[in-house]
Structure 1
Amino acid sequence: MSYTVRSSEKLRKSGSEAETKALLYLMNFRMDSDKIYYFVVDFFNDLTGMDSMASKLWDMQSKGAHNVGPNAIGKELVTLFKNYMSELSFEAYILFVGSVTGSLRKDSSIDIFGRSNIKESAIELIKNGLVEEGKDKEYIDNDTLTEKNIDDFLDKVLIVVDNDKKPSEYVKAIIKNHPNIIPEEKILDAIFNEIRDKQAGKKNASSVENIVIETTDEALNYGRHLTNNEIRLMTLQRIINSNPLGKGIPASFVNIYNTWPPENQREMLEDCQRALCRALFNKNAADGFWRLFENTYRLIVEKPNDSVQNLFTMIRSIPDCVSRCPDFDVLSLKYFIAVVKDGIQG
């Protein structure tokens, strides 16, 4: 197998917001979102989801345009069609758009839909647009633009309509099961903007046009990707206004640290830091981590003058709170409490 990167493009501001929404859709709004680990920017397409071993791909074309009609939809599908006709196999082919005209959908209340919700008259216009645009693109083999290929492709396409959802709504989905730690909208917007800027930085890196890869994992060699872990870390960092993986000793932890034998202090501190890193990035216990964080955050706000030891005792007494986050032991959990406490209290 070989794949040649074609049609990469520089990021436009209008597109960057839509592409970040598309990324967060892949990360949080699909039944298979938990399988997506990497988000590869402007390589196979505007955005490509990839599992942790680069064996599964989710192909996404993202456009921030509004009131997109069927013919324009067809034109926007060209890169997805190119990938459909390539030797690669994708789990999904997704077009993310701002809004669509009334001539497209049978049921306009459905914002995530496939061919079954597209009017027959619109299907013909989509085909026309795809063929017209495909013939203009040198990276599309005109021989592939057959009725059968296009029909088979359209059976697999999913259209996602944003309909002007706020950026904050997409960020909330990262921690949607834990409403007590969802911050105010300006913090959610700041998280979104940070993800957007990181994504833009990946896209504006050195050109990958015409690069040939033999295996999908080679796409990661070019550094044009974000990970689930990075995005979770950005979110947590903004909520507590501190880098939870910083290398220093949290002030609230100094009393505990000073009780350790001096010859063991460095090693024990590093063990705590490694445990926190594992807990934050353990996708199999992600919900447990956010539940633990939610309860820790709540208790610190309610009892700002309590010591780390007192907070630890209270958290440990909450049923199933600690047990669902198996990467922590006693010392590393106290370290985590101190990190959150110092972050919240500035």
Structure 2
Amino acid sequence: MTYTISSSERLRKSAADAETKALLYLMNFHEDHDEIHYFIVDFFNDLTGMDRMSDKLWDIQSKGASNSSPKALGKELVTLFKNFVSEFEFDNFILFAGGVSNTVRIDSTKKVFKIDNIEPNGLKKLKEGLLEECKVKTYINDSDITTQKINEFLNNVLFVIDDKEPSEYVKSIIKNHIALIPSKDELSTIFNEIRKIQSDKKNTSPVEGISITSTDQSLNYYRHLTSGQIKMLVISRIINRNPFDRGCPIHFVDIFNSFPVEIRQEALEDCKLAFSRALFNKNTPEEFWMLFNETYNKIIEHPDKNVEEIFGLLNRNIKQACPDFDVLSLKYFIATVKEGLQNDY
């Protein structure tokens, strides 16, 4: 089984807004978002989501145009079709579009739909566009361009219409915790940072012509981001520091100094690891953000209280809902947030 990287998109120099929106759509809005760990940039396609052990792939092509005709949509499907007929198994095929013309949808209120919501004449034009584009691409064998395969492929495509501002896609990471949500301008700035990181992945060493024999080998070229990295970026902007880039937080020093000397560093590392596990635990994302929100609020409301006092003010049920934290690691977490916010009050 071999897959050779070949794409007409290789000359594009930067990740467009549509590509970053597509990433954040996969991360926060797709029905399988909790399963997706890696976001592979400009390798199999504009973007490909992958689960933690490379057992499942979500392939996505983005199109920024806001009024695409059925035929134009069909042409944009060609890279997804290439992956559909490849030797590798892709579990999902998604076309993320900036907008479509009135001749596309039967029910224009649906922002996420399959081909059963495409007008019959529009579907005919879409197939024509896909067929034309397949015939001009050297990376698709003529033997794969059959009516049966095209119909089978189209029945597996999910069409997603972008209906949100960049700031809304970033806001979705934080969910509904109002106290944590920065201004619209700040959210847009974070979006731009994610877009730049995504763009930088596209500008690493060329991968055109490289052959791989398993999907996990795509990670060897480091054209990927993880959901954890993006969450970390958001948290860093909320508390004005990277929670893991320095040593002991100043507000944790008294607790740290009370540890026996011989285990201080080990205990500190344990606290950092617990924080990391809590942040990246996909089973309790809402619980983590609730705890973050609660901690943030208590620090803002009581800026003169120390870590021990803030710990005592936190709601017991909210603390218990994050199983990765114990008493010491939660106090480390509080100290980290407090240090990051100290210039804000």
User: Scaled by the length of structure 2, what TM-score is found?
Assistant: 0.96
The match for 1:336 is: 333
Q: Matched residues in 1 for 2:278 and 2:245: separation?
A: 15
The superposition leaves residues 297-318 of structure 1 with CA deviations (integer Å, 9 ceiling, x where unpaired) of: 0101111111111001111xx1
Partner amino acid, structure 2, of 1:77 = L
How do 1:142-153 and structure 2 match up within 5 A?
Answer: 142-153=142-153
Inter-partner Cα distance in structure 1 for 2:304 and 2:245: 23
How many residues align structurally?
342
1:4 aligns with 2:1: no
Question: Which residue number in structure 2 is paired with residue 326 of structure 1?
Answer: 323
Instruction: Tell me the equivalent position of 1:301.
Output: 300
Distance in structure 2 (CA, Å) of the matches to 1:334 and 1:159: 45
Corresponding residue for 2:108?
Answer: 108
Corresponding position of 1:255: 254
Q: Contact 1:187 / 1:239 at 8 angstroms: preserved in 2?
A: no
Per the alignment, do residues 118 and 12 of structure 1 end up closer, same or farther by CA in structure 2, a change over 3 Å counting? farther
Letter in 2 for 1:83: N
How many Å separate the matches in 2 of 1:62 and 1:10? 16
Cα distance in 2 for residues equivalent to 1:10 and 1:292: 44
What's the CA shift string for 1:255-304, capped at 9, x where partnerless?
Answer: 22222233332222222122212221222222221111110001011111
Aligned with 1:258: secondary structure? helix
Q: Write the distance in 2 (CA, Å) between the matches of 1:90 and 1:320.
A: 41
User: Distance in 1 between the 2:189 and 2:309 partners?
Assistant: 33
Q: For each residue in 1:114-160, what CA deviation from the matched residue of structure 2 results, as whole angstroms up to 9, or x when unmatched?
A: 10110000111111111111111111112222111111111111111
Gaps of 5+ in 2: none
Structure 1 stretch displaced more, 257-266 or 153-162: 257-266
Task: State which drifts further: 175-184 or 221-230.
Answer: 175-184
Tell me the CA shift for residue 12 of structure 1.
Answer: 4.5
Q: 1:128 is paired with a residue of what secondary structure? A: helix
| 1:52 matches 2:52 | yes
CA distance in 1, matches of 2:316, 2:104: 50
2:32 corresponding residue in structure 1: 32
Q: Which amino acid aligns with 2:340?
A: G
Q: Deviations over 1:16-47 (max 9, x none)?
A: 21100000000110111101110011111110
Match for residue 87 of structure 1?
Answer: 87
Q: Percent identity?
A: 53
Deviation at 1:180, TM superposition (A): 2.9
User: What is the SS of the residue equivalent to 1:37?
Assistant: strand
Q: Is the Cα contact below 8 Å between 1:11 and 1:204 reproduced in 2?
A: no
Q: Which residue number in structure 1 is paired with residue 291 of structure 2?
A: 292
Residues 10 and 203 in structure 1, CA contact (< 8 A), matched pair in contact too: no
Show CA shifts across 1:154-176 (max 9, x none). 1111111114x210111111121
The equivalent of 1:179 in structure 2 is 178
The secondary structure found in structure 1 opposite 2:246 is: coil
Q: Please say which of residues 143-152 and 129-138 is displaced more in the overlay.
A: 143-152
Residue aligning to 1:160: 160
Q: What is the alpha-carbon root mean square deviation over aligned residues?
A: 1.3
C-alpha distance in structure 1 between counterparts of 2:204 and 2:324, whole Å: 36
Structure 1 length normalisation: TM-score? 0.95
- Aligned-pair distance for 1:334? 0.8
User: Counterparts of 1:12 and 1:130 in 2: how far apart (Å)?
Assistant: 25
Aligned positions of 1:127-138 closer than 5 A: 127-138=127-138
Letter in 1 for 2:10: E
1:297–1:340 CA contact under 8 A, matched in 2: yes
Query: Counterpart in 1 of 2:41?
Result: 41
Distance apart, 1:344 and its partner CA = 1.0
Question: Corresponding residue for 2:140?
Answer: 140
Unaligned stretches of 5+ residues in structure 1: none
- What is the match of residue 227 of structure 2? 228
Q: Distance in 2 between matches of 1:328 and 1:71?
A: 53
Q: Give me the whole-angstrom Cα distance separating, in 2, the residues matched to 1:108 and 1:319.
A: 46
